Amino acid sequence: MRVAITGGTGFVGRHFARRLMTDGHEVVLIARGEDNRDTSVLDLNRSQFFSSNLSNTDVLVDAFAGCDAVVHCAGINREIREQTYQKVHIEGTRNVCDAARHAGVRKIVLLSFLRARPDCGSAYHESKWAAEEIVRHSELDYTIFKAGVIYGQGDHMLDHLSHALYTFPVFALVGMTDQPIRPLAVEDLASLIERSLFDPKFTRRTFAVTGPEEILLGEAVKRVAAVIGKRRPMIRMPLAFHYLLAWIAELTMKIPLTSLGQVRILSEGIVEALPPCESLPDDLLPATRFTQEQIRKGLPEPGRFRLTDLRCCLRKANT
């Protein structure tokens, strides 16, 4: 099978690409080419790379040529210049579906967010929902996975938690009430996406996908802190503080410590899909728990946030 992956050099995209390659499939990686944290995915055998920000349908038709399926993982969690939710999540998804039809692709799999929904006051959530609706009405065979918090090597969750615990003497929890999450191992998600390409049980269906263990966000922080040996006092801070922090982080950091969309996400809890959708069959439910071993596997190199994490340093390096 030949599979195109949008966001192919991103966190989920590169994990999924490696799984496909291990199982003997061909992979077409499609990305803007700006994620340099792990470029080894570009050297995989039986893979091809196309540089695209999803705005040019002709480029996508060329990339999808000969592909049996498209796995649409491309997405953003904050807006930077021309990379807006409208352009990436909505217009980009529409272009992907149009190109897939023109290229004769039979299947599209969309990675969405667990609580993506309309009319909720969050541009991130609403644009993800709009992308789902575009896929549902695309006339293609589709599967939509509404995933919760995903973790693993190269993620944002463990990366930013780890660096924050090394950097700050205290950890500020989001909001005055601790919210539950169900951490989802990226390996489990990759397995499900691959299964959906072959199994007719996934045809034209939308599934909620979360990890097997429901824990409070504070407990997740404690587990990461225990693994890296950096236990910190945890204090509750109101949402206004975190929205201000996110606004500053988005302005100043290459990959923000937190984003405005992430604050909204964490303030709601991430255990149930909105609107409600189908649950996976029992034999396909993710089973990997958020253990010390799993955390250790996904951790980045130990260390604090540095000046090189700031966008101003990126500009200087490019001048």
Look at residue 87 and tell me if it is in a domain: yes
Look at residue 204 and tell me if it is in a domain: yes
- Between CA 220 and CA 41, with CA 36 as vertex, the angle to 5 degrees is 90
Determine the pLDDT at residue 292.
97
pLDDT in tens, the chain (319 residues): 999 999 999 999 999 999 999 999 999 999 986 555 666 777 777 789 999 999 999 999 999 999 999 999 999 999 988 899 999 999 999 999 999 999 999 999 999 999 999 999 999 999 999 999 999 999 999 999 999 999 999 999 999 999 999 999 999 999 999 999 999 999 999 999 999 999 999 999 999 999 999 999 999 999 999 999 999 999 999 999 999 999 999 999 988 999 999 999 999 999 999 999 999 999 999 999 999 999 999 999 999 998 888 877 654 444 3
Look at residue 170 and tell me if it is in a domain: no
The pTM (predicted TM-score) of the whole model is 0.94
Sequence-distant (6+) residues with CB within 8 A of 80 are none
CA nearest to 101, candidates 75, 73, 65: 65
Determine the pLDDT at residue 34.
52
Determine the pLDDT at residue 20.
95
Q: How many domains does the chain have?
A: 1
Which structural domain range is residue 102 located in? 2-151+183-209
Look at residue 66 and tell me if it is in a domain: yes
Q: How far is CA 56 from CA 19, 91, 158, 304, in A?
A: 28, 10, 34, 39
Look at residue 201 and tell me if it is in a domain: yes
Provide the 3-class DSSP secondary structure of residue 69: strand
Determine the pLDDT at residue 254.
86
Look at residue 76 and tell me if it is in a domain: yes
> Token pair for residue 244?
């201000």
Look at residue 200 and tell me if it is in a domain: yes
Number of H helices, E strands in the chain: 12, 14
Which CATH number fits the domain that encloses residue 73?
Answer: 3.40.50.720
Determine the pLDDT at residue 319.
38
Provide the 3-class DSSP secondary structure of residue 72: strand
H helices of 146-185, in order, are 157-167
